[in-house]
């Protein structure tokens, strides 16, 4: 049965209930990490679409998937994991109310924990993953998995708001940060997040498709750089 959660007419969650699941949130911040990982989880875990979030404040947008128009902010599940997956950056004026709606949904469904996906800009990549949490217990869990802790800084957008809101509701929450160099899609960084999720949730999601995609992107960039360098080295004629 599809139920609806409303928050001051700002946004509505229209979704089936899934009890005692882990909730993962993925939205396209720097490097599109959450979005890339989210789509892979949908495919690899064969997740079913169980609902969506709508708001009059969302950008005018439909997403095409295999030729079919779908909602831009969808909710998927495989009974053990629930995924809130957005294909656009959530507007700041919607973030607070949307977060409340998501946490209300989690409270009603006795969700086990929240894992939100994000990224951190670095000057040089090591393809590592850092973490942060909303409690000492959640922080210890990250430490037990040998995930480096991000000690200081700001967590922008829906990730940060979800962490603080789940804290007030006593829902364990953590945020995983992939290393990125810029705002462009980074499948290799997303693959590093997948490796951590496999260990955290005892799942077996194959990250090889992301590695292959990263290699193709890197190959195209190398070809482009060589072409540009060749043009610069070509003799000039008057």
CATH of the domain at 16: 3.40.50.10900
Q: Is the pLDDT of residue 108 over 60?
A: yes
Residue 142 lies in a domain: yes
Residue 14 lies in a domain: yes
Residue 19: pLDDT band (50, 70, 90) is very high
Q: Cα–Cα distance between 130 and 119 in angstroms, integer? A: 9
Neighbours of 8 (CB within 10 A): 9
Q: How confident is the model at residue 87 (pLDDT cuts 50, 70, 90)?
A: very high
Query: What pLDDT, on a 0 to 100 scale, did the predictor assign at position 183?
Result: 83
- Block residue for tokens 């060589």: 226
Residue 89 forms part of a structural domain: yes
The Cα-based distances of 195 to 7, 137, 178 in angstroms read 35, 22, 11
Give the range of the structural domain holding residue 56, as residue numbers without chain letter: 2-231
pLDDT for the residue 160: 93
- Residue 238 domain-assigned? no
**Interval 22-60: pLDDT, tens:** 999 999 888 899 999 999 999 999 999 999 999 989 989
Residue 175: name the closest of 125, 141, 127, 209 by CA. 141
- Whether the predicted pLDDT of 114 surpasses 90: yes
Confidence of residue 126 (pLDDT cuts 50, 70, 90): confident
Residue 237 belongs to a domain: no
The answer to whether 5 and 99 have CB atoms below 8 angstroms apart is no
Long-range contacts of the stretch 56-63 (C-beta < 8 A, 24+): 57/10, 57/11, 57/91, 57/93, 57/94, 58/88, 58/91, 58/94, 59/88, 59/91, 61/87, 61/88, 63/87
The pLDDT, as a whole number, for residue 235 is: 55
Axis crossing angle, helix 187-201 with helix 33-44, rounded to the nearest 10: 60
pLDDT of residue 45: 94
Tell me, yes or no, whether 236 lies in a domain. no
Instruction: Flag whether the pTM goes above 0.85.
Output: yes
> Residue 114 — φ and ψ, nearest 5°?
-115, 135
Q: Which of 19-28, 151-160, 192-201, 228-237 has the lowest mean pLDDT?
A: 228-237
Contact in structure between 113 and 171 (CB atoms under 8 Å): yes
Strand-pair category, 113-121 with 173-180: parallel
φ and ψ at residue 154, rounded to 5 degrees: -110, 145
Highest mean pLDDT among 58-62, 103-107, 151-155, 186-190: 103-107
Q: What is the pLDDT of residues 198-223, one digit of tens each?
A: 999 999 999 888 888 877 766 765 66
Write out pLDDT tens, residues 155-193: 888 999 999 999 999 999 999 999 998 888 888 899 999
Domain membership flag for residue 65: yes
Please indicate, yes or no, if residue 222 is contained in any of the structural domains. Answer: yes
pLDDT of residue 150: 87
Secondary-structure percent of the chain, ordered helix, strand, coil, rounded to 5: 40, 25, 35
Q: Is 116 helix (H, G, I), strand (E, B) or coil?
A: strand
pLDDT in the model for residue 31:
87
**Has residue 72 got a pLDDT over 70?**
yes
45-54, 93-102, 138-147, 178-187: lowest mean pLDDT where?
A: 178-187
Number of domains in the chain: 1
């Amino acid at each position: 049965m599809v139920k609806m959660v409303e928050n001051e007419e700002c946004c509505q969650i229209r979704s089936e209930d899934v009890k005692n699941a882990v909730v993962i949130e993925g939205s396209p911040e720097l490097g599109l990490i959450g979005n890339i990982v989210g789509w892979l989880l949908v495919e690899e875990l064969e997740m079913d679409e169980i609902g969506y979030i709508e708001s009059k404040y969302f950008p005018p947008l439909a997403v095409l998937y295999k030729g079919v128009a779908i909602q831009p902010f969808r909710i998927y599940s495989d009974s053990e994991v629930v995924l809130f997956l957005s294909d656009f950056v959530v507007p700041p004026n919607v973030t607070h109310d949307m977060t409340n709606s998501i946490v209300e949904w989690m409270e009603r469904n006795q969700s086990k924990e929240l894992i939100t996906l994000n990224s951190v800009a670095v000057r040089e990549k090591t393809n590592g993953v850092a973490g942060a949490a909303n409690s000492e217990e959640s922080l210890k869990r990250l430490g037990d998995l040998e995930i480096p802790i991000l000690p200081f800084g700001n967590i922008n957008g829906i990730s940060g708001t979800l962490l603080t809101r789940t804290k007030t509701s006593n829902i364990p929450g953590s945020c995983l940060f992939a290393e990125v160099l810029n705002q462009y899609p980074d499948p290799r960084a997303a693959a590093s997040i997948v490796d951590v999720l496999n260990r955290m949730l005892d799942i077996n999601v194959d990250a090889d498709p992301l590695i292959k995609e990263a290699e193709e992107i890197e190959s195209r960039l190398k070809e482009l750089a060589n072409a540009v360098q060749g043009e610069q080295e070509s003799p000039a004629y008057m």
